Amino acid sequence: MSSALKVDIWSDIACPWCYVGKRRFEEGVRRFAESHPDRTVEVEYHSFELAPDTPVDFEGTEVDFLADHKGLPVEQVRAMLEQMTEVAASVGLDFDYAALRHTNTLKAHQLLHLARVRGVQHEMKERLLRAYFTEGRHVGHHEQLADLASEVGLDRGEVLEALTQETYLDEVRADIAQARAYGINGVPFFVIDQRFGVSGAQDPAVFADALGQAAAAQEVQA
């Protein structure tokens, strides 16, 4: 009997390549499942803060953030965002950078850990990414996060208490420390079965291949 392949994914909410990479990874899993119908894939998301110095209430657009806060040329930023929007569209995602509310994602990561405990982490991750990149929702405030959490079945009161008490802050810190120990500097980053690493929003074929390699390695060891 084959055991499940565990995939640990480090990513951030404010990370367009993480959202695109999520879609490409999901397609890779679909292809892997076609060739390995007896295998299952378990996914767990881990926290990574791309810009921990970002204020919760950043006043300005994404262009402002990258141009002013990061010191990048405005025209280059605009071109980068246009290209990113096109790439997102290629995997069926509708990015709206004009509406995007740039914010600190530490609280959103804490919410993802609560969602993991309650068994709805995947739903919460997808909801947060869509809220951030497509709907222009603020994902840094407790109330807005609780609204989104309730949509995936989490108890609003529990969410607010967990965010206020920072119940899952240690888990977020542990994820970030683990990423550092792995030498992860950019996201998304995928670790398959604790044996194989995949960096970046790779093509679905790369994910399918990596899963296949992990499955073969597991069978050799069995």
Dihedral angle sign, alpha carbons of residues 120, 122, 126, 129? positive
- Using rule CB under 8 A, residue 216 touches other proteins: no
Cβ 160 vs Cβ 146: under 8 Å: yes
Quick one: 120 or 206, whose CB is closer to other proteins?
Answer: 206
Tokens of 61: 């657009």
CA distance 154 to 144: 13
Smallest gap from residue 214 Cβ to other proteins (A): 9
DSSP character at residue 7: E
- Using rule CB under 8 A, residue 18 touches other proteins: yes
- Using rule CB under 8 A, residue 88 touches other proteins: no
Q: Where are the beta strands (DSSP E) in 13-168?
A: 41-47
Q: Total number of residues binding other proteins (CB under 8 A)?
A: 51
Among 34, 37, 71, 119, binds other proteins (CB under 8 A): 71
Stretch of 128-136, 149-157, 165-173, 207-215 contacting other proteins, by CB under 8 A = 207-215
CA distance 221 to 130: 40
Give backbone dihedrals phi and psi of 165, rounded to 5 degrees, phi first.
-80, -10
- Using rule CB under 8 A, residue 84 touches other proteins: yes
Smallest gap from residue 120 Cβ to other proteins (A): 25
- Using rule CB under 8 A, residue 195 touches other proteins: yes
Residues 6+ apart with CB under 8 A from 156: 146, 147, 149, 150
Altogether, the residues listed in the chain come to a count of 222
Among 34, 38, 53, 59, binds other proteins (CB under 8 A): 53
Cβ 29 vs Cβ 66: under 8 Å: no
Stretch of 7-15, 126-134, 146-154, 160-168 contacting other proteins, by CB under 8 A = 7-15
Q: Which residues bind other proteins (CB under 8 A)?
A: 12, 14-18, 20, 50-51, 53-54, 65-66, 69-72, 76-77, 79-80, 83-84, 87, 180-189, 191-192, 194-203, 205-206, 209-210, 213
